[in-house]
Amino acid sequence: MTSPVEAAPISAARKWAITLSVMVVAFMQVLDTSVTNVVLPHLQGSLSAGLEEVSWVITSYLAANAIIIPATGWLAGLLGRKRFFLVCCVLFTVSSVLSGMAPNLTFLILARIAQGIGGGPIIPLSQAILWEIFPLGQRGLAMAVWGVGFMMGPIIGPTLGGYIADNWSWRWIFYINLPVGLLGFFMASACLFDPPYLRKPARVDWPGLALMIVGFGSLQLMLDRGEREDWFDSRLIVTLAFLAGVALVGFLIRELMADHPIMDLRVFTDRNFAFGASFIALIGLGMFSSMVLLALYSQKLLGYDAYTSGLVLAPGGLGNMFSLILCGRLVTRVDQRLLLTFGCLVNAISLYMMSNLTLGMDYWTLTLPRVIQGFALGFIFVPLSTLTLATIRKDKLVNATSAYNVLRNLGGSVGIALATTFLAQRSQFHQHNLVAHVTVWDPETQRRLGEWTRHFLAQAPDPFTAQRQATAMLYHDVVGQAQVLAYADDFWILAILFSLVPLFLPLMRRVHADPAAPKADDDRDGERVSPLPAPVE
């Protein structure tokens, strides 16, 4: 006999109310992830700490995120999905307020750990909820609307953080989460419900839980601290790498053998999901590293402050909002692999444009590639999530979105670590080559030295001091040019990466929105994810 839970459909109004609810909470979480980066100098002065010490404010949050996200599906089953979502919202909001009230650095780091634990599961839970309540023909648009909030966080975060820190106090970047968190909590309380198929795990996989915490925590710490600690020349990094390797291998073995795993790895037996999760790791690598590189370039070489640097990234949101809505309508009508190919190639073009940076470029020349990149990202995330998740059974969706986000975040962390390390190495390489060609017998070198010498002679009558200052400025120019070439190398590699991704997309199967059509080419019948019924009131 059909139960009331299975019979009553969810109204369109309730579906979009749920979408708005999870979007508000997800936006708060993503915004706070990016906003903290620009206030580290303010934290140094306020808390009387060095740069290495305050960097743990970011590291602690990322490590907590890395630990909790793999357990999202298991915790949703243990606590109930609605209750777990509300617990995460409350924990994130309360720890945000505590972060703003922090009297010292130790208290702030502990509050940030709690904030990372509360914020980590929000994104995978949001994706799973939306994917379940909408039929396949509407999921693209729903994910696009939600994606507007998700993508706007890292875009406006640096700008908002810089403005607040410069004009008010760094504490207000945490306090602003309070009204947003309260709004999201009450909206989610009224709209969310637990699906009828949700099952509480019979027992806790304590060995798997311990291996997960040690493995993912050590890996995130290694990636975040590697560049600062000079990688494997540091005993700390070697120790973290060893712990991460041993624990993660043990975690994989344990999860494959356990009857009630923390993360069900059998989801990777789905062909589309396995390839889609691999692609999101590569795309996360390219996306996050390119944003970090552009922010570093604008601040370190062009001399922009944090607020202006954020304004370089912000216009990308305009292109992204347009493409998300457009792609949301196209994703069930056009082969998703073609849309994804288009997005990757346009993103490669924007990265190629970034490889032509110069020290004399103006704001709009720097911003144009970001607008193009923002437009491309909409054609990447909507079709990729559709291809990846459409073939997953609905009772496995929270687990699948958790694994999907683990790989996205891991790709981003690896990308940032590789990009900054490669940037330092290529800067040294180009500096060595440029210095070798700067000699006193070179006419161009003599001309530049003469210009600088005359400039400093006009300010001080001492010829010796003026000549020394001119030599120092010439060396400064060489170092700056070497760094420009290094940034160009990084962007070139990222452009090549996005150019290669489309070559492997035929390995995934197209998803059909028509219920009469097969779910994916050559797939078995009966695996389509149907929309959830309405809850029992």
Bridge-partner residues for 520, per DSSP? 511
User: What is the reported pLDDT for 302?
Assistant: 83
d(CA 244, CA 433): 38
User: What is the reported pLDDT for 521?
Assistant: 44
Bridge-partner residues for 533, per DSSP? 9
Dig out the tokens for 265 from the structure. Answer: 């790895």
pTM, to two decimals: 0.81
User: What is the reported pLDDT for 360?
Assistant: 81
Residue 157 burial by Cβ neighbours in a 10 Å radius (0-12, 13-18, 19+): buried
User: What is the reported pLDDT for 227?
Assistant: 76
d(CA 261, CA 72): 12
* Maximum alpha-carbon separation in the chain: 99
User: What is the reported pLDDT for 531?
Assistant: 40
Report the candidate in 526, 193, 505 with the shortest Cα–Cα distance to residue 335.
505
User: What is the reported pLDDT for 291?
Assistant: 82
Separation in Å, CA 76 to CA 11, 121, 270: 24, 9, 22
Report the candidate in 190, 247, 237, 192 with the shortest Cα–Cα distance to residue 215.
247
**The residue to which tokens 């908002």 are assigned:** 160
Counting every residue written for the chain, the total comes to 537
Q: Are 365 and 384 in contact (CB under 8 A)?
A: no
Q: Which residues contact 427 (CB under 8 A, 6 or more apart)?
A: 479, 482, 483, 485, 486
d(CA 313, CA 292): 10
**What are the φ and ψ backbone dihedral angles of 305, each rounded to 5 degrees?**
-80, 175
SS3 226: coil
d(CA 527, CA 117): 33
User: What is the reported pLDDT for 446?
Assistant: 65
Q: What is the mean pLDDT of each run of 10 residues along the chain (537 residues)?
A: 45 84 84 72 71 74 85 85 91 92 87 90 88 78 76 70 76 86 89 77 78 88 81 87 92 85 86 92 88 82 76 77 84 88 94 87 86 89 88 84 88 86 87 74 67 66 67 73 90 94 90 51 42 38
